[in-house]
């Protein structure tokens, strides 16, 4: 598909530009993993069940989008490396992800919630 087609595609119900969730997931993944100290995304139980029992891979393990009217909320579940300043890394993720998503789509990003699920031990 061409870029022009993607930009012009409309949601059949609201006649608003359609936001491709896969594209949003890729942007969030890229912006999160490029930050020093992020170890990995946290995989939830429901992601594991969907993939293993139902054969469906959500593709966005550790990332959840909630759309309310024209506002988008993103929940990111990650593990960080030992010794990282958690408030600083969370703020950097929030800033980078919000900027990237607002540049990518016409939705306003209401919140980027960063959930630190754990700390990975340093490797010897």
- 2 in a structural domain: no
R_g of the chain, CA atoms, integer Å = 16
Q: What is the CATH number of the domain that holds 61?
A: 3.30.70.1350
Q: Is the dihedral of CA 117, 114, 60, 30 positive or negative?
A: negative
Query: Does 8 map to a domain?
Result: no
Tens of pLDDT along the chain (124 residues) come to 444 434 444 444 344 455 678 888 999 999 999 999 999 999 765 554 444 444 444 455 789 988 888 788 999 999 999 999 999 999 999 999 999 999 988 778 999 999 999 999 887 6
Whether the model clears a pTM of 0.95, i.e. scores above it, the answer is no
Total tally of structural domains belonging to the chain: 1
Is residue 4 situated within a structural domain?
A: no
Cβ atoms of 116 and 86 closer than 8 Å: yes
Q: Domain limits at 37?
A: 21-120
Cα angle for residues 103, 113, 109 (degrees, 5° grid):
30
Report the distance separating Cα 105 and Cα 120, nearest Å. Answer: 33
């Amino acid at each position: 598909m061409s870029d022009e087609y993607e930009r012009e595609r409309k949601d059949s119900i609201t006649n608003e530009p359609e936001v491709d969730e896969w594209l949003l997931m890729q942007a969030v993944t890229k912006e999160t993993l490029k930050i020093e100290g992020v170890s990995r995304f946290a995989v939830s139980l429901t992601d594991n069940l969907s993939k293993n029992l139902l054969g469906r891979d959500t593709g966005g393990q550790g990332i959840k989008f909630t759309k309310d009217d024209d506002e988008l909320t993103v929940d990111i579940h990650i593990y960080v490396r030992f010794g990282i300043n958690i408030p600083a890394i969370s703020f950097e993720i929030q800033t980078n992800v919000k900027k990237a998503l607002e540049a990518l789509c016409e939705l306003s990003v209401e919140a980027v919630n960063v959930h630190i699920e754990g700390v990975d031990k340093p490797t010897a």
